[in-house]
Amino acid sequence: MLAKNKRELSRQYTSRPGFFEGIKHSTVLPIHEACANYEAPFPLIQGIIDAYPECVKVAESAYQRLPLHIACRKHANLSVVRYLLDCYTQGALIADTLGRLPLHYALSNGADDDLVDMLLNQSPGSARGTDRRGWLPLHVAVSVGASTHVIGRILKAYPEASIIQTNKGTAVEKCMESHQAANKPEVLQLLAVYRSMVDKMFRPARRPSLGRTVV
């Protein structure tokens, strides 16, 4: 009976006024609420998913965010994010209504190197995700002063990001102007290296000169 009740509760939707930013109403499942609490213990998350495995694929109603989006946005611990990824790896490539992937939220909320590594290892393609403003994960990373390691991982997964501008025409370097991170010189050098690499990749090949034919 207890196991049955647990399964039923894990499938029960609840209306939550102010679920996002204290102002945005959303209809959520217990897994969404648990992932919104960065202190939620791993056994709780695991128990909810065990009772309703499909819940990891269900989006809340306000922004169509999966539990993985919410966990990355709320700086959940590494074990929680890993379990969500293991249960639904494709979730790393699903965008919410703002066009953002879980990687966007992990970066914007100061995720540590290990968490970003895990997201990129599972889904390298997430480095290519562009939100509705035209921001790639790289734009987000440099704008918040992410570590050189994190920025290097994103560039390795998607070198072309080094030359892509946002919808407003903002270059990657411009996104760095809001802060003075200690690793700024290293990041600028890294961007220059990858930009040069991309330039060589896409530079039109020169045809060898055939010379003049002497008759």
Taking the CA of residue 156 as centre, how many other CA atoms within 13 Å lie in the half-sphere pointing to its CB? 11
Please write the tens of the pLDDT for every residue from 39-73. 889 999 999 999 999 999 999 999 999 999 999 99
CATH number of the domain encompassing residue 189 = 1.25.40.20
Write down which residue in 97, 125, 158 finishes a domain. Answer: 97
Domain with 129 in it: 101-200
Q: Is 27 helix (H, G, I), strand (E, B) or coil?
A: strand
Looking at residue 208, its pLDDT comes to 45
Domain identity same for 30 and 93: yes
Q: How far apart are CA 90 and CA 77, in angstroms?
A: 20
For the stretch 117-128, pLDDT in tens is: 999 999 999 999
- Quick one: pLDDT at residue 214? 36
User: What are the backbone angles phi and psi of residue 48, rounded to the nearest 5°?
Assistant: -65, -45
Are 25 and 15 a contacting pair, CB within 8 Å?
Answer: yes
Residues of the chain with pLDDT under 50: 1-3, 207-215
Distance, C-alpha 55 to centroid of its chain:
20
